[in-house]
Structure 1
Amino acid sequence: MDVPEVRPLQVADPLEDETLFRELTYRFLIWDPFVSGSRRVDLHPLILPRGLHDTARRAAEATVRSIARVARLAHEEPEEARVYALHPDVSALAAASHRAGDTAALVRVDLLLGDDGAFHPCEVNADCPGGFNEAFGLPRLARSAGFLGGENPTVVVDHLARRLVALARGGTVGLVFATAYAEDLQVCAFIKRRVEALGARAIFVSPTAPRASPDGALRVRGGERIDVLYRFYPIEEMAAQGNVRDYVRAVESGKLRTLSSFAQVYGQSKLSFARAWTRDPEAAREARIPATFAFGDIEVERIIDERAAWVVKRAFGRVGDEVLVGALASADEWAGLVREVARLVRRGDSWIAQRFIPQRTISTVWGPRYVTLGAYVLDGTFAGYFVRLTPESHVSHDALVVPAFVEGAPS
């Protein structure tokens, strides 16, 4: 059976090289290379056998197709949309993009390596996926550190930049992010560089700053028009902003395009996996999506009793937050967590229960590790990987990020 592996470089710790570490920081703008006192990124590359890469790529694209079909139902059927329990402002943004044909989508599908040797999607980030600095920079730094083999399959950054420039049609790209967070700025600053390298104008924008002018265009800074919005800011956080109607008006008038589109909000909700199993089970099986249910559709006591078989997730949780893995909790801890989620659901919060994917570890220079392939899919087409390694089957902020290559001749 073909299995991926982390192949050691000749140097045990290549980022001790000051030149490489400066490139990491200044060329690729990775300003947070450590978390909790440990390195968050490294250069020893993950090598994917070509056949396994092909199956991972197909799984990612099939997952995006499945979730897109379910999302389309939510746009077309009011009853289906109500299942997601979105804030009215979020629903208005999504509806505006859908009506205007504003549908550009950059999705990252998280794939887990199952004990059957295949990759299985556990969730998607269809709203504002990140990891671009690492996905672009780490393979190049691995080359600088002496890795000469393999093909780099990751093209997401330059394809994203070209897509933004095309959507702007000669105008300005506005990059929206939470201005209090340096880790968000580093992503947008890196994308800004790539957009400007193509000759387009790009500016940073606070999410609350833009306003619609009388002609319907979205403007900032005393009148500068934004033609396309690259949004590294969760759509659910935009609820109750004073300028939501301005965004809606600009999108509906055709004077603003967004990436990822506001219309992708249904796919961002983890509930979309449950709806895929309810509305389109054949496609869900084809994509290897694990059986997923709205939390309220499964008896609480069953989830408690079958602890090792379940993962419970908040529908709009991000970066591993509010993901509860039964296999990693004691029986008493699990019972308390599940009953607390049941209480939150009764109050109107949205959670899912998903079948646990038994995983296999891979060989790495740090010992056996679980691998999560974040497969980028831009407008339906695979565009590369963001790879994280963990000592347990739960991926969060402290996962180790490494470069990915496909076995074979260098491209």
Structure 2
Amino acid sequence: MIKLVKIPAEAYSDYRYEVIFNGYKWDPQVGDANTVSEYVIVIDEETANNLESWGEVLSQETMLIEECLLKHPKIIKELGIPRIMRKALKSITNYERDKHIRLMRFDFHPTETGWNISEVNSDVPGGFAEASILPQIASKYVSEFLPGTNFVEVLLESFKHKVKEHGIIALVHATSYSDDRQVMQFIGDYFDAHGYRALYAAPDHLNWQNGYPRCVIGDQEIKVDGVLRFFPLEWLCNLPKRYRWQNYYNPNIPSCNHPIAILTQTKRFPLFLNKLDIDVQYWKKFLPRTIDPRKVDKEAGEWIYKPALGRVGEYITIKTVVSNDELKKVKRAVKKEPKNWVAQEMFHSKKVQATDGNSFHLCIGVFTVDGKRAGFYGRISPYPRIDAYAKDIPILIAKGDNDLGTKIY
């Protein structure tokens, strides 16, 4: 059960300022569009547990898929991963799941037929503060509901198991972008307060020797004990050769995420699940049918195109959302380079009603860390496509008996 509760109008300004200044939301709008929602999503305990349980199983399946794909270079060639990255993937020789921190986020959507996932954000998922601080802030304004699992607590616990006490953790990100720095600042402040030292670094600041990095900033060179990368893997290969970005592929220290994640970040991996001889029934249950875009004309149904390595909903061709010009542009790109795209059968998102009569499309991102539930990241939009213009919305839990109104699954 789901309910969309509006924050009292007289309190919203205070709430928004608190989200910006205490919730690390330094980019509270895109262009002229406010991205801090005036609402709170409330779900009952059963729905919360279902989503988190499904996320945990999907996470285990995803890690199994990655390890299996790593042994199939012919399939990797078909995943829409750039050649230079495929070459780096071949160099992976020492991957052991338990030595690293495996973070991912599954995007669940309420639809007319139940819950579906649109994708897994497998490489560098966002929404860290939104799944940690935002529910705590919101619960002060909608006090009858409670926050759920706190993402950053779960993430820290995983690092504690794998990185020595008082260790130095490099937070690798695009340091000149405030929307990336706000995420890393949140993690860094929290880790600093709990016994670690956060080191804010660009990807080219790490100098690797035999799988062990040292961070070089100015005239300082600092040994690093763990890496949290918030820099998309496909961007790394744009660095000059002298930085030897390929070293990220064979770390001998705990890494979050290890580059093996790119094998399931690409939207094309579901095309080959039946060739892997592994049990991934939850992926097959929750992901809409996915095919090579060259087969669309021969298949019945309503299809949307997605770029293999697209992010933040970019270039997803939901016809009621995209312009004719954008649709034509995407179709030309698909025709020119079909191996960089995928076609997914369109699900019909079910709008969630708000207490003030408005309704919105909803996406609930379910975080997992090392296969364990790690919190929710909510976004809403008046349109079926959840993209950069969607609003961040806290997710709270209704404890006990509470009729929330909208039954989904």
Please tell me the TM-score bracket, short chain as reference: 0.7 to 0.9
Aligned pairs for 1:285-296 (under 5 A) are 287-296=285-294
The answer to whether the Cα contact below 8 Å between 1:238 and 1:244 also exists between their aligned partners in 2 is: no
Q: One-letter code of the match for 1:23?
A: E
Q: One-letter code of the match for 2:239?
A: Q
The whole-number CA distance in structure 1 between the counterparts of 2:283 and 2:228 is: 32
Aligned pairs for 1:147-158 (under 5 A) are 147-158=142-153
Partner residue of 1:6?
A: 4
Shift of the 96–106 alpha-carbon distance from structure 1 to 2, 3 Å rule, reads: farther
Shift of the 250–310 alpha-carbon distance from structure 1 to 2, 3 Å rule, reads: closer
The whole-number CA distance in structure 2 between the counterparts of 1:106 and 1:350 is: 24
Structure with the larger strand share: 2
Shift of the 273–144 alpha-carbon distance from structure 1 to 2, 3 Å rule, reads: same
Aligned pairs for 1:198-277 (under 5 A) are 198-213=194-209, 216-221=212-217, 222-242=220-240, 246=244, 248-249=246-247, 252=250, 254=252, 256-276=253-273
Q: One-letter code of the match for 1:319?
A: V
Total equivalences in the alignment? 394
The answer to whether the Cα contact below 8 Å between 2:155 and 2:374 also exists between their aligned partners in 1 is: no
Shift of the 44–335 alpha-carbon distance from structure 1 to 2, 3 Å rule, reads: closer
Secondary structure in structure 2 of the residue aligned to 1:139: helix
Q: One-letter code of the match for 2:333?
A: V
The whole-number CA distance in structure 2 between the counterparts of 1:163 and 1:351 is: 34
The answer to whether the Cα contact below 8 Å between 2:239 and 2:245 also exists between their aligned partners in 1 is: no
1:342 aligns with 2:337: no
Consecutive unaligned residues of structure 2, counting only runs of 5 or more, are 402-409
Partner residue of 2:319?
A: 326
Residue 247 of structure 1 deviates from its aligned partner by 5.5
1:168 aligns with 2:167: no
Residue 65 of structure 1 deviates from its aligned partner by 3.0
The whole-number CA distance in structure 2 between the counterparts of 1:168 and 1:246 is: 24
Shift of the 191–97 alpha-carbon distance from structure 1 to 2, 3 Å rule, reads: farther
Partner residue of 1:42?
A: 37
Partner residue of 2:107?
A: 110
Structure with the larger helix share: 1
1:405 aligns with 2:396: yes
Shift of the 265–253 alpha-carbon distance from structure 1 to 2, 3 Å rule, reads: closer
After superposition, what is the alpha-carbon deviation per residue over 1:328-385, rounded to whole angstroms, capped at 9, x for unaligned? 458x668735531333315xx5110001111211112471111100110111111111
The answer to whether the Cα contact below 8 Å between 2:364 and 2:377 also exists between their aligned partners in 1 is: yes
The answer to whether the Cα contact below 8 Å between 2:111 and 2:350 also exists between their aligned partners in 1 is: yes
1:386 pairs with one of 368, 377, 389: 377
The answer to whether the Cα contact below 8 Å between 2:170 and 2:228 also exists between their aligned partners in 1 is: yes
Shift of the 215–363 alpha-carbon distance from structure 1 to 2, 3 Å rule, reads: closer
The answer to whether the Cα contact below 8 Å between 1:218 and 1:246 also exists between their aligned partners in 2 is: no
Q: Which moved more, 1:357-366 or 1:196-205?
A: 357-366
Residue 16 of structure 1 deviates from its aligned partner by 1.3
TM-score normalised over the length of structure 2: 0.86
Partner residue of 1:24?
A: 19
The answer to whether the Cα contact below 8 Å between 1:165 and 1:195 also exists between their aligned partners in 2 is: no
The answer to whether the Cα contact below 8 Å between 2:102 and 2:369 also exists between their aligned partners in 1 is: yes
Q: One-letter code of the match for 1:192?
A: G
Q: One-letter code of the match for 1:66?
A: E
2:350 pairs with one of 351, 360, 378: 360
Shift of the 294–201 alpha-carbon distance from structure 1 to 2, 3 Å rule, reads: same
Consecutive unaligned residues of structure 1, counting only runs of 5 or more, are none
CA-based RMSD: 2.8
Shift of the 252–388 alpha-carbon distance from structure 1 to 2, 3 Å rule, reads: closer
The whole-number CA distance in structure 2 between the counterparts of 1:138 and 1:368 is: 21
The whole-number CA distance in structure 2 between the counterparts of 1:80 and 1:31 is: 41
Shift of the 74–59 alpha-carbon distance from structure 1 to 2, 3 Å rule, reads: same
1:122 pairs with one of 114, 118, 123: 118
Shift of the 38–329 alpha-carbon distance from structure 1 to 2, 3 Å rule, reads: closer
1:139 aligns with 2:135: yes
Identity among equivalent pairs (%): 19
The answer to whether the Cα contact below 8 Å between 2:100 and 2:162 also exists between their aligned partners in 1 is: no
The whole-number CA distance in structure 1 between the counterparts of 2:274 and 2:325 is: 29
TM-score normalised over the length of structure 1: 0.86
Partner residue of 2:406?
A: none
The whole-number CA distance in structure 1 between the counterparts of 2:289 and 2:322 is: 21
The whole-number CA distance in structure 2 between the counterparts of 1:215 and 1:318 is: 29
